[in-house]
């Protein structure tokens, strides 16, 4: 009977369709266990934010490669050695057990608790009493894993509450006399093994990652312990932990340390070994005495690790300024270097020399608009490691590999659904647009039966092919796309070959002004019509019924006029290139979607291929999967990057229709699309993208449906109120982006109006950047509204304080 039950799931698995079989271990499969399980999966997609940590006192976290391998014994030995020195120097030693199970003496297998054990064995003399404190933060009576104990006993603790308890405890310790003395030490011992779950069933290695305390790993000296120790070590490293030391209690003369040492020495991690402990109930006093020197060496290594870390921070700024050439930075005026120790969730962990601490700093620019799944996401790290281990990098032309194939199919089934049939991979957004222009120009030439060669040189025929683009656009820094931009600070002094090769349309913009949504229309577009139109909401801007309005006719006639005027001069408009809905680097402008729809319609009527540059707007940046969803009209070609890989590694994709692909389908290789780079469709990038897209989809499926055009992250009422201030020119929020333009007489990218505000925000936990006098906040698609509103409140408060002091 038991045998039949065990075989039923296997039989069911064998009956699954071929498409459901896991072909490789990348991506995140959506749970099929119901709504509650899906909500829990959504919650665990997010990585928690970084934590504040003083470095005045060395703090280390003890992880085990398994349960019942001597973590608490090793912790007691380290505390015993540290307390010996601390008692003579005025220092303090603290042992903390955040989660403890099995504390009821009436339950078989229970014991007084690890804190009591450490306190008993770490104190050698009464005079050390004041130098050592041992504490437990949360406990259960049953001696089982925390998640089971929580279920059995009916009381639990969230991961957030646990981390808050630990953070408060560490902060309190730092304020105690003696905690900052040279020989002070804090040890935080986890429960079970590295991947043992907390009460929430999240692995403890993930729960504590926001603090990123340096680790003392207790290895396994038993038979099989070499494997469990290396597995634990790699689990820690793949999540970005620093391992300061490995301690191992050898068993049965196996000498596991000798097998581990070749690898750990490569990593610079020392191993300290101890002999087997005597069997219970034999006292441990003699064993601890015999190992006093070993534990003294462990303490010496931990102290050295801490000092080296501090010295590295103190020298980082000087070293960086000697070797780096930062992009978009005037080094003569650079200052206020942020020393990033790590990153987790939406936050950097930044070293503050004035407080000698590591502090969280909200990544308000989403690391140049790339952040999608949160920094330090362990699911993403695992996907990258798997792809690196399985493939490394492999040649792509005329080859196929599973990550690239699955990614291509995902792209065509999502953002390319209904219009695209081909995926062209490249390395970054700028290059993706370069590729798109090559595709579009070739398509235009063939559709209009033009000799492509006549446009290759101005001197040859005087003919010219240009791109219809938007004023204030920015598509990247490679030469071809630089030429599809007006003269500006981005290109005028950057390259002697820069030549603007576009028709740059002034666009109507949408924003909150004085508490209302207002479309501002340039007189060049409006003609005799009004130059402003008010809307009741952001949703109204995306209403398709506007296509029948008088304004739609005004817009389309303007586009047609600009094309006609251009083509009177022996110039052909061979492509149209737009940033759909939101223009980024040119100043964060929401473009009236009606205008862009009319532009696309006019281009379609003239057989001008349309390119959407969704490098910035794609993949939930605007609260929808693609800006195409907001416009309601398909492109011929579209470019994606940034959020494509979750913001972890560079990669871009240019999607094209079959009609575009066929213009390059010929007998001659010279007529193929001859563009590429060495790392085209590299497996790690593809694996990152597959994982990110899966996570976005799960998050969306598990989120409550919205009646709005886009999913909201920022508190619009706060931005509406802010827009009424005399010192604010405009505000808006769409999807993950919130924007505030400061009123200024010197508007534009070169403006320094926001410089003071930027510095104030960084001192208050928000790492923001600006586009001249335009400041923006950006989160990831997995960020909560609560977090967004907290940071928006900080921005609003600091603006008001600065204005009050002027």
Q: How confident is the model at residue 337 (pLDDT cuts 50, 70, 90)?
A: confident
For residues 410-425, average pLDDT:
97
Instruction: Residue 65: name the closest of 273, 246, 218 by CA.
Output: 218
> pLDDT tens for residues 483-534?
898 888 888 888 888 888 999 999 999 999 999 999 999 999 988 878 899 9
For the stretch 572-626, pLDDT in tens is 999 999 999 999 998 999 999 999 999 999 999 999 999 999 999 999 999 999 9
CATH superfamily, with its number, for domain 54-309: P-loop containing nucleotide triphosphate hydrolases (3.40.50.300)
The CA distance from 719 to 717, in Å, is 5
Check if 54-309 and 716-804 are the same fold. no
CATH number 3.90.1150.10 is the correct assignment for the domain at 716-804: yes
- What's the pLDDT at 180? 72
pLDDT at position 396? 94
Query: What fold characterizes domain 419-669?
Result: 3.40.640
509: enclosing H helix or E strand: strand 509-513
The three-state secondary structure class of 382 is helix
For residue 805, the model assigns a pLDDT of 85
Nearest of 132, 142, 46 to residue 99 by alpha carbon: 142
Over residues 75-95, mean pLDDT: 91
**Percentage helix, strand, coil, to 5, in the chain?**
40, 20, 40
**Can you give the pLDDT at residue 457?**
61
Cβ neighbours of 238 (radius 10 Å):
14
Q: Give the pLDDT band of residue 706 (cuts 50, 70, 90).
A: confident
For 802, the 3-state DSSP assignment is helix
Q: What is the pLDDT of residues 96-108, one digit of tens each?
A: 999 999 886 666 6
Start-to-end Cα distance in the chain: 81
Determine if the peptide bond prior to 794 is cis (ω within 30°).
Answer: no
**What pLDDT, on the 0 to 100 scale, is given for residue 752?**
75
Q: How confident is the model at residue 3 (pLDDT cuts 50, 70, 90)?
A: very low
Percent of the chain past pLDDT 90, that is, above it, reads 73
Q: How many CA atoms lie within 13 A of 497 on its CB side?
A: 6
Distance CA 640, CA 800 (A): 37
Give the pLDDT of residue 461: 57
Task: Return mean pLDDT, the chain.
Answer: 90
Higher per-residue pLDDT: 480 or 513: 513
What's residue 38's pLDDT?
Answer: 86
Q: CB-based contacts of 102: which residues, under 8 Å, 6+ apart? A: 109, 110, 111, 113, 140, 141, 142, 143, 144
Task: Give percent above pLDDT 70 in the chain.
Answer: 93
d(CA 771, CA 759): 14
pLDDT given at position 686 = 97
Mean pLDDT of 355-359: 95
β 652-656/637-640 pair status: antiparallel
Predicted structure pTM score: 0.92
pLDDT (average), residues 115-136: 84
Dist CA 283 CA 532 (whole Å): 86
pLDDT of res. 462: 65
Nearest to 345, CA basis, from 306, 377, 297? 377
CA angle 457, 459, 460 (to 5 degrees): 70
Q: Which whole-number Å values give the CA distances from 488 to 391, 441, 495, 585, in the listed order?
A: 43, 25, 12, 12
pLDDT score recorded for residue 108: 62
* Residue from 500, 519, 503, 481 nearest 561 by CA: 503
| Residue 177 banded pLDDT, cuts 50, 70, 90 | low
Contact 651, 685 (CB under 8 A): yes
Give yes or no for residue 634 having a pLDDT over 70: yes
pLDDT at 88: 82
Residues 6+ apart with CB under 8 A from 260: 219, 226, 229, 230, 246, 248, 271
The C-alpha atoms of residue 436 and residue 430 are separated, in whole angstroms, by 10
- The number of C-alpha atoms within 13 Å of 273 and in the hemisphere containing its C-beta is 15
pLDDT tens digits, residue range 5-54? 333 333 333 333 344 444 567 778 888 888 888 888 888 888 889 999 99
DSSP state letters, 310-344: HHHHHHHHHHHHHH---TT--GGG-----EEEEEE
Domain boundaries, the chain: 54-309, 419-669, 716-804
Task: Choose among 473, 462, 443, 463: nearest CA to 606.
Answer: 443
Q: State pLDDT tens for residues 263-294.
A: 999 999 999 999 999 988 889 999 999 999 99
Beta-ladder partners of 573:
466
| Per-residue pLDDT tens digits for 661-704 | 999 998 888 888 999 889 999 999 999 999 999 999 999 888 88
Cα distances (angstroms) measured from residue 582 to each of 578, 610, 635, 730: 10, 17, 16, 15
Please tell me the predicted confidence (pLDDT) of residue 130. Answer: 72
CB contact at 8 A, 225 and 256: yes
The model's confidence at residue 194, banded by pLDDT at 50, 70 and 90, is very high
Q: What is the reported pLDDT for 12?
A: 35
């Amino acid at each position: 009977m038991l045998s039949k039950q065990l075989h039923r799931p296997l039989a069911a698995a064998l009956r699954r369709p071929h498409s459901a079989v896991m072909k490789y271990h990348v991506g995140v499969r959506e749970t099929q266990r119901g709504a509650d399980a899906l909500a829990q999966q959504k919650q665990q997609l997010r990585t928690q934010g970084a934590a504040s940590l003083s470095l005045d006192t060395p703090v280390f976290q003890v992880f085990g490669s398994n349960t019942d391998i001597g973590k608490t014994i090793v912790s007691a030995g380290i505390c015993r050695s540290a307390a010996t020195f601390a008692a003579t120097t005025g220092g303090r030693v603290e042992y903390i057990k955040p989660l403890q199970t099995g504390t009821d003496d009436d339950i078989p297998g229970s014991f007084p608790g690890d804190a009591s054990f450490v306190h008993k064995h770490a104190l050698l003399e009464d005079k050390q009493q004041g130098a050592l404190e041992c504490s437990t933060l949360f406990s259960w009576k049953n001696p089982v894993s925390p998640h089971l104990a929580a279920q059995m006993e009916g009381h639990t603790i969230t991961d957030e509450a646990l981390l808050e308890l630990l953070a408060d405890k560490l902060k309190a310790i730092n304020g105690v006399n003696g905690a900052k003395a040279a020989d002070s030490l804090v040890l935080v011992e986890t429960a079970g093994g590295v991947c043992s779950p907390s009460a929430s069933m999240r692995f403890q290695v993930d729960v504590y990652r926001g603090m990123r305390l340096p680790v003392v790993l207790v290895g396994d000296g038993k038979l099989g312990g070499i494997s469990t120790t290396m597995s634990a070590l790699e689990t820690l490293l793949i999540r970005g932990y620093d391992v300061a030391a490995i301690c191992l209690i050898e068993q049965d003369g196996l000498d596991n340390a000798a097998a581990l040492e070749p690898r750990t020495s490569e990593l610079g991690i020392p191993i300290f070994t101890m002999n087997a402990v005597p069997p219970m109930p034999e006292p441990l006093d003699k064993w601890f005495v015999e190992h006093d020197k070993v534990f003294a060496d462990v303490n010496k290594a931990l102290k050295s690790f801490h000092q080296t870390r501090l010295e590295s921070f103190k020298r980082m700024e000087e070293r960086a300024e000697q070797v780096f050439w930062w992009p978009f930075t005037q080094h003569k005026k650079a200052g206020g270097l942020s020393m990033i120790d790590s990153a987790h969730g939406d936050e950097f962990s930044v070293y503050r020399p004035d407080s000698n601490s590591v502090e969280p700093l909200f990544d308000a620019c989403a690391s140049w608009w790339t952040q999608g799944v949160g920094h330090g996401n362990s699911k993403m790290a695992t996907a990258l490691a798997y792809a690196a281990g399985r493939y490394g990098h492999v040649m792509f032309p005329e080859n196929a590999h599973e990550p690239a194939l699955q990614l291509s199919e995902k792209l065509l089934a999502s953002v390319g659904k209904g219009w695209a049939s081909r995926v062209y991979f490249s390395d970054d957004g700028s290059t993706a647009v370069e590729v798109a222009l090559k595709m579009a120009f070739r398509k235009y030439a063939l559709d209009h039966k033009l000799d492509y060669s006549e446009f290759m040189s101005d001197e040859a025929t005087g003919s010219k092919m240009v791109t219809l683009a938007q004023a204030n656009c920015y598509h990247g820094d490679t030469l071809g796309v630089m030429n599809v931009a007006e003269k500006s600070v981005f290109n005028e002094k950057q390259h002697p070959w820069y030549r603007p090769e576009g028709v740059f349309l002034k666009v109507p913009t949408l924003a909150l002004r004085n508490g209302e949504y207002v479309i501002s229309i340039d007189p060049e577009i409006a003609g005799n019509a009004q130059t402003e139109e008010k809307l009741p909401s952001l949703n109204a801007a995306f209403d398709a019924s506007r296509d029948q309005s008088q304004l739609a006719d005004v817009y389309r006639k303007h586009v047609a006029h600009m094309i006609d005027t251009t083509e009177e001069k022996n110039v052909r408009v061979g492509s149209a290139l737009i940033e759909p809905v939101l223009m980024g680097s040119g100043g964060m402008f929401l473009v009236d979607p009606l205008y862009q729809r009319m532009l696309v319609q006019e281009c379609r009527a003239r057989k001008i291929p349309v390119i959407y540059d969704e490098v910035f707007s794609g993949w939930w940046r605007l609260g929808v999967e693609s800006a195409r969803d907001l416009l309601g009209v398909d492109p011929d070609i579209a470019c994606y990057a940034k959020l494509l890989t979750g913001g972890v590694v560079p990669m871009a994709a240019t999607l094209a229709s079959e009609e575009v692909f066929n213009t390059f389908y010929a007998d001659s290789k010279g007529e193929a699309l001859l563009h590429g780079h060495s790392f085209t469709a590299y497996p790690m990038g593809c694996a990152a993208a597959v994982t990110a897209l899966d996570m976005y989809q799960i998050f969306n499926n598990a989120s409550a449906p919205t009646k709005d055009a886009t999913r909201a992250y920022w508190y619009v009422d706060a931005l509406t109120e802010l827009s009424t201030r005399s010192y604010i020119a405009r505000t808006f929020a769409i999807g993950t982006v919130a924007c505030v333009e400061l009123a200024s007489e010197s508007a534009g990218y070169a403006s320094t109006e926001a410089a003071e505000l930027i510095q104030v925000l960084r001192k208050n936990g928000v790492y923001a950047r600006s586009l001249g006098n335009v400041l923006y906040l950006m989160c990831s698609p997995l960020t909560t509204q609560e977090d967004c509103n907290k940071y928006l409140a900080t921005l609003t408060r600091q603006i008001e304080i600065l204005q009050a002091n002027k």
